[in-house]
């Protein structure tokens, strides 16, 4: 049997899941470029970019091409794409700007702290969350269907708010509900809101758990130093 070819950084960069990741970045950038002027095109580009998120993971498992670079690329793309859309919403709904800023901060802080905590624990992936980290967080990361539904609903809710803010060349509404114009964007926002809210709760839980885990590492490290110092002091005293 011929020996396997040595892997280089170029090889890693050209893995199929990472190529899918690059396409996601390109599609996201294209959607941002047309966001103020072509809402339908923007929505399709943004939606395809988000949907490809499910395919890069499947490709990584199928071709045995899971990498740390790919995992970070995937998370960074998710966070930056969502943050850019929320920034647009903040400019569109200035009265809610502070609220949107807090959402971005929660999303970024939660995922960053979680990834650092998991890497510090020696986990090969930020998605390998044990049951000791809580039922909801374990379910969120270990059940692919739950993860997909939560992430998809989260993005669709923000897309619905975006569509609600722009004039479309379609009938302005489908009717009225309690005096409020009932549009496709309104329906999408109402349907996805409960799951979007659950996603924000998971973000809070994730950040709290990550903070506790990091603090536990600090405690362990400091106690080891104290023990080492105590042993060294005792040995010095015995020598004297």
Q: For residue 123, count other CB atoms closer than 10 A to its CB.
A: 14
- Cα–Cα distance, 41 to 163 (Å, whole number): 11
Q: Which stretch of 43-57, 66-80, 103-117, 163-177 has the lowest confidence by average pLDDT?
A: 163-177
Q: Is residue 167 pLDDT above 50, yes or no?
A: yes
CA 49, distance to chain mean position in Å, is 14
Mean pLDDT of all residues belonging to the chain: 86
CATH number of 9-235: 1.20.120
Q: How far is CA 114 from CA 147, 188, 236, in A?
A: 16, 30, 42
Annotation says 74 is catalytic: no
* Chain segment 182-202, per-residue pLDDT in tens: 678 888 999 999 999 999 999
- pLDDT of 122 reads 76
Q: For residue 119, count other CB atoms closer than 10 A to its CB.
A: 15
Longest distance between any two alpha carbons in the chain, whole Å? 91
- pLDDT of 182 reads 63
* Chain segment 138-161, per-residue pLDDT in tens: 888 888 899 999 999 999 999 999
- Cα–Cα distance, 144 to 113 (Å, whole number): 21
| In contact, 154 and 199? CB cutoff 8 Å | yes
Percent of the chain having pLDDT more than 90? 52
174 or 105, higher pLDDT: 105
- pLDDT of 236 reads 66
- pLDDT of 17 reads 94
Q: Which stretch of 36-40, 109-113, 225-229 has the lowest confidence by average pLDDT?
A: 225-229
The one catalytic residue in 53, 74, 78, 107 is 78
């Amino acid at each position: 049997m011929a020996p396997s070819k040595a892997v280089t950084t170029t090889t890693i960069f050209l893995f199929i899941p990472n190529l899918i990741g690059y396409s996601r970045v390109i599609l996201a950038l294209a959607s941002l470029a047309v966001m103020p002027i072509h809402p339908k095109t923007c929505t399709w580009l943004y939606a395809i970019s988000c949907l490809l998120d499910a395919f890069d993971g499947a490709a990584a498992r199928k071709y045995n091409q899971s990498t740390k670079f790919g995992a970070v690329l995937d998370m960074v793309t998710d966070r930056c794409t969502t943050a850019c859309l929320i920034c647009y919403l903040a400019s569109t709904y200035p009265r809610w700007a502070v609220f949107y800023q807090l959402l971005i901060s929660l999303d970024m802080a939660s995922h960053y702290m979680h990834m650092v905590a998991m890497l510090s624990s020696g986990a090969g992936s930020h998605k390998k969350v044990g049951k000791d980290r809580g039922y909801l967080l374990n379910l969120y990361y270990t059940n692919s269907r739950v993860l997909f539904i939560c992430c998809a609903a989260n993005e669709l809710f923000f897309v619905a708010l975006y569509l609600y803010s722009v004039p479309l060349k379609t009938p302005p509404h489908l009717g009225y509900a309690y005096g409020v114009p009932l549009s496709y964007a309104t329906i999408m926002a109402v349907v996805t809101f409960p799951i979007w809210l659950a996603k924000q709760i998971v973000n809070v839980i994730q950040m709290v758990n990550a903070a506790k885990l990091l603090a536990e590492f600090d405690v362990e490290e400091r106690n080891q130093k104290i023990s080492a110092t105590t042993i060294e002091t005792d040995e010095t005293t015995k020598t004297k």
